[in-house]
Structure 1
């Protein structure tokens, strides 16, 4: 006998369960911090190593958005190679990679902020990107922290032998 598709109330319960879970909240924070980072950078003039920060922010924002909606809609079984019983491992690998790449992005933003700290003086009247770099550094740190917490959470679930992300 073929399994029955979930009924709308069951789907709604699954969505609410994920949104209220620790990982669901972290995914929302990761999406918000990532968007804040890349919008802050993209809305202003940037050059050099800032391109790497923008790459990391946009790449992991898009990947996190995809993971969020796939998990929210409970469609991880449809993802080839990474879905099903490998979904927790795929999420864990994503979170570890994001945290690892956000670390040098933090370094770049702190370096750029420090190099422009001279124009933080009230008497300095020329255009300056100090506040932009400082804001981006804060978003980088918050994003990295959210990915790190998510990686630790996923690692703990994996060590306990669990198969699901929620």
Structure 2
């Protein structure tokens, strides 16, 4: 197993380049989607600073179902259009919420969460699920994080065989 070390996160381009390189190394030869998403959430948890939850919700039977994650126990079912995750899934666009208490309908799985970023996972115009990351810090995420986490999801799409999920 390769050694994973923390690097300076002030230079986001360098940090996210490193993150994606490590993700590729972890998942490029693994065919199992569950193993890959588990390692992806663990990698985010290990390397991202100031977060309290990192993981996935997968689209099944018309709703989002809790997938692999790191953090406190979480909601297991989210209806499309509900909360930040359900909204990102419904709109099929990244949602960056600086203060979750200002987001009408926010679903509070961990009361410590103050900000959130959700990136939809879409492959061949089909919703697969969402990547969800929470932080106990207000305004933790910005557009730059959004762009780079979208690239993280693109890396997942390149290597993960989503057809085995449903």
Same fold (TM over 0.5): no
Give the TM-score band, short-chain normalised.
under 0.3
> TM-score normalised to the size of structure 2?
0.26
Answer with 1 or 2: which has the greater Rg.
1
More strand by share: 2
Greater length-normalized contact order (CA 8 Å, ≥ 6 residues apart): 1
Question: Normalized against structure 1, the TM-score is what?
Answer: 0.26
